[in-house]
Amino acid sequence: MDTVLNEAQALQERIRGWRRELHAFPEVGLETPRTEEYLCRQLDAMGAEYRRGVGGHGVAAVVRGELPGRCLMFRCDCDGLPIREESGESFSSQNENMHACGHDAHSAMGLGAVKLLLARRRELKGAVKVLFQPAEEIGAGARAMMADGCLEDPTPDAAFALHVSMGSGENRKAGSFHFIKGAALACMDKFEIDLTGKGSHGAIPELSCDPVVAAGRIVTGLQTIVSRNVCPMCPSVVSVCQFEAGETANVIPETARLVGTARTLWPQTRDLIERRLGEIARLTAESVGVRADVKYTRGAPPLLNDEKVLGAAQKTAAELFGDGEALFVSEPMLAGDDFAFYTEHVPGAMAFLVAPPPDGPAYNMHNCHFRIDDRWLWRGAALFAALAFDWLAKEGE
């Protein structure tokens, strides 16, 4: 354990370098060819085994130990967001996209883990698969890579992922790890409500069937799903994030459109939200003579951390860094992650590495000012590698 820790710490500057180089050219969605090429160059330099072009531009690296055993998988997402960066970092994005969710850091930690594991293949039982996955932000990358066989040759017996975090509540100690038992992240569902009424001059509203009025009532009505239909003990949210209607100040338009997201931790509440959202939209629209067409698209499911995988990761982190650096926290998050698609097939868990910026305010994810302290990323690589040795040794007994 001490050897892995020392070797990871010695890689600190290289891991930071990988992260900062990736940070300068973020790509979005499934179209990440430059990111793929960069990752492959680093893996080639290590002499690593990998398959590129998985599900488009994903990369699946494998470190096969010299001793027989099972397979542990790590997922490291690598896509950015269509956000113009305003962080002020010297290595800021050079295009109109931004790594505003830390995926550059996740990939850098994954590269570090591959290098650490390759150096000690003789001691490794079984194999470690490291997925560098695009399109997490749009919920498409995991399914694309699985459809292209990323869970084959070898087939993983368990999966683990790390996500950088600003911490929560009083638990904001930089470099610490947070572990959430059970339901950790919410589903990532999208809804679209298209309203069709009858337009009119703004001075003659009585001749209209106003879709703007219907849309406003629907926005308000949707808030009652969480406040009056969902159990207060089940964190959930329904957010309208786009409201599109009209083109001029004196014309009531014929159409309006609402788009948003629904999040919850429990499958049964997910069903309830989908049903009530459709009912409220259609009946509210009908009450003012407008038609509502509702489309509800289910994205990644809630992430339910596997108790055994999570416990093993927490134990390894505590042995590496001390009990106070590996904390079980009680607050699940209503953010989502398509890592949950893998855990429908493989027992898995996600943990969080707290890495707020060393100076200035700590902006959360998906913000143009998002920054992290990448001096702590070596700890993530260390946890990946040490967990691989620990878990594979135990599971191979």
312-337 pLDDT per residue, tens? 999 999 999 999 999 999 889 999 99
Q: How confident is the model at residue 395 (pLDDT cuts 50, 70, 90)?
A: confident
Task: Map residue 46 onto helix, strand or coil.
Answer: helix
Tell me if 163 is assigned to a ligand binding site. yes
- The model's pTM is 0.94
- For residue 256, give the amino acid letter: A
Same fold, 2-184+302-395 and 189-297: no
Fold designation for 189-297: Alpha-Beta Plaits (3.30.70)
Q: What is the mean pLDDT of residues 179-184?
A: 96
Quote the CA–CA distance of 295 and 258 in Å, as a whole number. 11
Mean pLDDT of the chain: 96
Residue 137 marked ligand-binding: yes
Which pLDDT belongs to residue 396? 53
Give backbone dihedrals phi and psi of 289, rounded to 5 degrees, phi first. 75, 25
According to the annotation, is 101 in a ligand binding site? Answer: yes
pLDDT in tens, 346-361: 999 999 999 999 998 9
**Is the pLDDT reported for residue 57 higher than 70?**
yes
Distance CA 295, CA 154 (A): 38
What is the distance between the alpha carbons of residues 144 and 308, in angstroms, rounded to a whole number?
Answer: 27
Residue 302: the pLDDT is 96
Rounded Cα distance between 67 and 360, Å, is 48
What totals of helices (H) and strands (E) does the chain contain, helices first? 10, 16
What pLDDT, in 10s, does the model give residues 16-30?
999 999 999 999 999
| Residue 2: pLDDT over 90 | no
pLDDT digit string, tens, across residues 131-156:
999 999 999 999 999 999 999 999 99
CA distance 74 to 129: 6
Average pLDDT over residues 240-254: 98
C-alpha 144/C-alpha 88 separation (Å) is: 34
SS3 270: helix
For the chain, which residues make up each domain, given as ranges?
2-184+302-395, 189-297
For residue 305, the SS3 value is strand
- Beta strand extents in the chain (DSSP E only): 49-54, 58-64, 67-77, 125-133, 158-165, 177-180, 182-185, 189-196, 200-201, 236-245, 251-252, 255-264, 291-297, 303-305, 326-329, 348-354
d(CA 253, CA 202): 9
Q: What is the CATH number of domain 2-184+302-395?
A: 3.40.630.10
Percent of the chain with pLDDT over 70: 99
pLDDT digits (tens, 9 = 90+) for 373-388: 999 999 999 999 999 9
Taking the alpha carbons at both ends of the chain, their separation in whole angstroms is 19
DSSP 122: G
Instruction: Give Cα separations from 314 to 42, 59, 178, 264, 383 (angstroms).
Output: 29, 27, 8, 25, 9
Q: What pLDDT does 330 receive?
A: 87
Percent of the chain topping pLDDT 90: 95
